[in-house]
Copies of this chain bind each other. A is one copy, B any other.
Amino acid sequence: MTQSVMDERPHDFYPSRCALEAQLLERQDPTVYAPQDTQGPLTDSEVRAYAEQGFLILEDLFTGEELAALQSEQARLRNVSATEHPAETISEQGSGDMRSVFQVHLLSTVFQKLSSDPRLADIARYLLDDDVYIHQSRLNYKPGFRGKEFYWHSDFETWHVEDGMPRMRALSMSITLTDNHEFNGPLMLVPGSHMKYAVCEGETPDNHYEKSLKKQDYGVPSDVLLSELIDSSEIITATGKPGSVIIFDCNLMHGSNGNITPYPRSNVFFVYNAISNQVGPPFCNQPPRPEHICTRKNIQAV
C-alpha cells in the first residue's frame, strides 16, 4: 500500500493565499535559535534587540577599502547585467532601468566571497544555530528620480508559499552600498512584526515571480492587517552611511517608498537559510520558481 501524494506533502504551518481570509497568526518558531548563554559573534543586548525587534543594524563592519571594492563591483554588474545576465536581471516598470540582479553570490566572485565572509555568515549561523546556505541573493538598485516603491511584505510569506520554505529559520542581510537618507526611499521596518504572520488574500497566479519582482500584487498584506501591525508598533527607517549591515528576520514586515531624489539607493542582499530548513514543494498550486530566485538544487553551506 502506497501513501497518497497528499499525505507525503509536509504540513503547512503558515498557510496563506489559497482563498484564505486576511488575518494575523502567531509565529510558531523561534527568532533566535542559539541556546541561551551561548557565546556568539553578537553582544547580549544585540541578540535581545534582534529577538524583540526582528532586526539589527551594524555599522563599520568593513574597511573603507573593502566598501570601495563592493561599490565598484556593484557598478560593474549594473553595467553588464542586462547583456551578460538577462535571466537574472529585473528592470523597472516604465523606465527599463535595472532594479535587481539575482544570484550575485554565483555571478560575482566579489559577492560570493562577501556572502561567506565570517563577519556575516557567523552571525547567521549563530542566530539560526545551524549551518546556512544562500537561499537567494541579489543586488538591488533603486535609481534616482524615478525609483519605484517596494510595497510592504514579509519575505517569508513568498518564500513559504512560492518556494516551499517550511519554517521561519532564515534571515536576510542587506549591505548598503550608498547613503540611505530619509528621503531616497530607505528600507522601512516594523519592529516586532516578525512575531505575527500576515495571511494574505488571493491566489498565486501563473509565473507570478515574473511580475512580482517588479511590482507585487499577490502575497500582499491587506490595509487592515498593515494598520494593525504598524499602529501597535512604529515605522523605523534604516538610514545610514554605506557599508551598514541590516540584519532582519525572514518574517519582518518591511517595504520602501519610491525615490524622486537624484540619489540612487543600492544594496546587496543575502538570504541565509538554515540547512535543516531547505525548501520543499511550494505551498501553492504552482511549479517552483527558477533556481536563480530560489536555491533548490545547488545547496552549499557557506
**Chain A residues engaging chain B, CB cutoff 8 angstroms:** 144-145, 149, 151-152, 181-183, 185, 188, 223, 226-227, 230-231, 235, 237, 255-262
Assuming the A-B contacts A145-B223, A145-B226, A226-B145, are A183 and B261 also in contact, with contact meaning beta carbons closer than 8 angstroms in the complex? no
> In the complex, what residues of B have CB within 8 A of residue A230's CB?
261-262
**Is A257 in contact with B226, judged by CB distance below 8 angstroms?**
no
- Choice from B223, B235, B258, B261 contacting A258 with Cβ under 8 Å: B258
**Is B183 in contact with A262, judged by CB distance below 8 angstroms?**
no
Assuming the A-B contacts A262-B230, A262-B231, are A257 and B223 also in contact, with contact meaning beta carbons closer than 8 angstroms in the complex? no
**Is A262 in contact with B185, judged by CB distance below 8 angstroms?**
no
Closest 4 pairs between A and B when the two form their complex, measured CB to CB: A182-B182, A258-B258, A227-B262, A257-B257
Number of copies: 2
**Is A260 in contact with B145, judged by CB distance below 8 angstroms?**
no
CA distance A182 to B185 in the complex (A): 10
CA distance A223 to B235 in the complex (A): 30
CA distance A260 to B216 in the complex (A): 13
CA distance A258 to B230 in the complex (A): 18
**Is A183 in contact with B260, judged by CB distance below 8 angstroms?**
no
Provide 22 A-B residue pairs closer than 8 Å at the C-beta atoms, listed in order of the A residue.
A144-B223, A145-B226, A149-B260, A151-B260, A152-B260, A181-B235, A182-B182, A182-B183, A182-B237, A183-B188, A183-B235, A183-B237, A183-B257, A185-B257, A226-B262, A227-B262, A230-B262, A235-B261, A255-B260, A257-B258, A257-B260, A258-B258
Q: What is the distance, in angstroms, from A262's C-beta to the closest C-beta of chain B?
A: 5
**Is A258 in contact with B226, judged by CB distance below 8 angstroms?**
no
Q: What is the distance, in angstroms, from A236's C-beta to the closest C-beta of chain B?
A: 9
**Is B262 in contact with A223, judged by CB distance below 8 angstroms?**
yes
> In the complex, what residues of B have CB within 8 A of residue A231's CB?
262
CA distance A213 to B226 in the complex (A): 29
> In the complex, what residues of B have CB within 8 A of residue A262's CB?
223, 226-227, 230-231
Q: Give the nearest-CB partner of A144 in chain B.
A: B223
CA distance A195 to B257 in the complex (A): 30
> In the complex, what residues of B have CB within 8 A of residue A260's CB?
149, 151-152, 188, 255-257
> In the complex, what residues of B have CB within 8 A of residue A183's CB?
182, 188, 235, 237, 257
CA distance A235 to B263 in the complex (A): 11
CA distance A149 to B259 in the complex (A): 9
**Is B257 in contact with A259, judged by CB distance below 8 angstroms?**
yes
CA distance A223 to B147 in the complex (A): 13
Q: Give the nearest-CB partner of A181 in chain B.
A: B235
